[in-house]
């Protein structure tokens, strides 16, 4: 039997994740519904916290410890637990199996309806969940489809959707107070080193690294000295981090007596260069980032990336996307080559013919005889055409502002060059050369 507890905050939490942390301290399955509301799976918690009133009391206590005022509702479904939490101050518990009856007098607004559905239900004269629950399901399906059936099930306290587990973003932050104050830099650096060791241990335990560190020194008299550093590569080595922090503090020391220190790391997941023995190694993230930056400086940001074919019949419909080397598990055994098997008897092998594009296509002068090209003259290629096939007509995007139409010919020049000619309705172009 499922039991859901709804924890509703009635005041503004000091930290955004405070309510979620309170719930996670009591149940492993917690859904953050936003707006100061979390749901937790209260099933099977009796042996840990006692019966449901005791669980609710513990939730109130834990929330009060972080300056949160809360209401708790416990029922068999999320919607009934929410109604219970909203209806009464303190704790409200709906007995098992009593969700439908408890929800019957609740207003329809509890369902968070869309404007359209709310207007239709209002026109039908419905005001409460009980009235919606009492409607014939088949008729509701005919008028509102599956959404109508879903809403009716919710109104009856039937909620088949499981909790969507939420986890707070881990915060890697450590602080130390020095009531006596630190006047010189050396003890500040030493305390910072200790904080770095603790922060890096937390990062390593989760398999993360940090690509930025921030620190705040609270000074005697209320002042604040803060700073940040971004290492060249994400790191978890406490010695290296402490060394960087020392250099940063020496370059810009705090001006005053330091009363407390806080060090915070921004976690990132570092993908290893080779995740398993069956993977090929990939470029190291640090070297690759440096290389890509240099390449961007060399050829421009629009000249580098991973090619992607666009969903279009337009010739050369290609985009250049961001390049992210990702692991490809090496299939075992390797797939057979897609090309036909070699014709061993003749010593001939077979594969796919490539076209070399000319970008932009080179303007060309084409001589026609009986409607077929017989000579080509362009800046890249000139010659007599000895064979040719075409035209292959393609067109598209006639519904847009930029329609296109092309007639393409594959031709062989007298010197043996195979190329593709294109006529766009007004002029000829040399589109590419087969190679």
Partner 1 sequence: MAIPIESLPPPGWDREGIDGLLGLFPPGRLSEIVGPRSSGGSSLLLAFIARITTSGGQVAFVDGMDALDPASAAAAGADLSALLWVKCAGRLRAALSAADLLARCPGFPLVVLDLDELGPVPVSAQIRLQRALEGSDTILIVRSARHREGSGASLVVATRRLAPRWMGLRPLTRLAGLRSEASIARSRLHPLSPQGEGRTWTIDWTL
Minimum CB distance to partner 1, residue 320 (Å)? 7
Nearest CB to partner 1, comparing residues 125 and 329: 329
- Residue closer to partner 1 by CB (options 255, 326) is 326
Report in angstroms how near the CB of residue 203 gets to partner 1 at its nearest: 24
Using CA atoms, how far residue 118 sits from 107, 110, 395, in Å, is 11, 11, 47
Residue whose C-alpha is closest to residue 356's, from 405, 265, 309, 417 = 417
Query: What angle, rounded to 10 degrees, do the helices at 137-155 and 115-123 form?
Result: 120
> Hey, how many other C-beta atoms are within 10 angstroms of the C-beta on 369?
9
Distance in Å, CB of 288 to partner 1, minimum: 6
Q: How far is the CB of 13 from partner 1 (least distance, A)?
A: 43
Contacts of 30 (CB under 8 A, 6+ apart): 20, 23, 24, 38, 39, 40, 41, 163, 165, 166
Nearer to partner 1, 171 or 320 (CB): 320
- Which C-beta is closer to partner 1: that of 29 or that of 282? 282
Residue 415: helix, strand or coil by DSSP?
Answer: coil
Dist. CA 325–CA 275, nearest whole Å: 13
Are 101 and 83 a contacting pair, CB within 8 Å?
A: no
- Nearest residue (CB) to partner 1, 160 versus 333: 333
Instruction: Supply the minimum distance, in Å, between the C-beta of residue 382 and partner 1.
Output: 13
* Choice between 263 and 358, CB closer to partner 1: 358
List of residues contacting partner 1 (CB under 8 A): 273, 279-284, 287-288, 291, 294-295, 298-299, 303-309, 316, 318, 320, 323-330, 333-339, 341-342, 344, 346-359, 387-389, 410, 412, 416-419, 432-435
Q: How far is CA 294 from the centre of its chain?
A: 27
| In the complex, minimum distance from the CB of residue 368 to partner 1, in angstroms, rounded to a whole number | 15
């Amino acid at each position: 039997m499922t039991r859901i507890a709804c924890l509703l905050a009635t005041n503004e939490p000091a930290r955004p994740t405070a309510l979620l942390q309170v719930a996670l301290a009591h149940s492993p399955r917690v859904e953050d519904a936003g707006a100061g509301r979390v749901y937790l799976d209260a099933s099977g918690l009796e042996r840990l916290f006692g019966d449901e009133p005791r669980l609710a009391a513990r939730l109130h206590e834990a929330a009060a410890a972080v300056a949160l005022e809360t209401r708790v509702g416990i029922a068999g479904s999320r919607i009934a637990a929410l109604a219970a939490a909203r209806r009464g101050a303190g704790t409200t518990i709906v007995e098992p199996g009593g969700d439908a009856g408890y929800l019957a007098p609740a207003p329809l607004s509890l369902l968070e309806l869309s404007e359209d559905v709310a207007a239709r239900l209002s026109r039908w004269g419905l005001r409460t969940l009980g009235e919606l629950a009492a409607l014939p399901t088949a008729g509701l399906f005919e008028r509102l489809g599956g959404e109508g059936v879903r809403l009716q099930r919710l109104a009856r306290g039937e909620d088949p959707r499981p909790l969507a587990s939420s986890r707070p973003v881990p915060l890697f932050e450590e602080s130390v107070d020095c009531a006596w104050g630190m006047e010189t830099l050396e003890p500040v650096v030493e305390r910072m080193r200790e904080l770095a060791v603790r922060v890096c241990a937390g990062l390593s335990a989760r398999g993360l690294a940090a690509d930025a560190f921030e620190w705040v020194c609270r000074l005697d008299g209320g002042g604040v000295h803060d700073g940040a550093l971004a290492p060249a590569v994400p790191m978890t080595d406490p010695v290296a981090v402490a060394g960087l922090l020392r250099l940063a503090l020496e370059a810009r020391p705090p001006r005053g007596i330091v009363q407390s220190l806080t060090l915070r790391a921004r976690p990132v997941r570092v993908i290893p260069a080779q995740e398993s023995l069956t993977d090929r190694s990939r470029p190291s993230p640090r070297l690759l980032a440096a290389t890509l930056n240099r390449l961007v400086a060399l050829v421009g940001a629009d000249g580098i990336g991973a090619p992607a074919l666009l969903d279009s019949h337009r010739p050369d419909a290609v985009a250049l996307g961001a390049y992210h080397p990702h692991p490809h598990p090496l299939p075992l055994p390797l797939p057979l080559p897609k090309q036909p098997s070699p014709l061993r008897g003749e010593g001939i092998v077979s594969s796919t013919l490539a076209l070399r594009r000319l970008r932009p296509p080179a303007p060309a002068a084409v001589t026609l005889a009986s409607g077929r090209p017989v000579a080509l003259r362009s800046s890249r290629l000139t010659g007599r055409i000895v064979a040719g096939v075409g035209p292959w007509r393609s067109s598209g995007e006639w519904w847009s502002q930029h329609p296109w139409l092309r007639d393409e010919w594959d031709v062989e020049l007298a010197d043996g060059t195979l190329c593709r000619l294109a006529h766009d309705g007004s002029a000829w172009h040399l589109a590419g050369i087969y190679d």
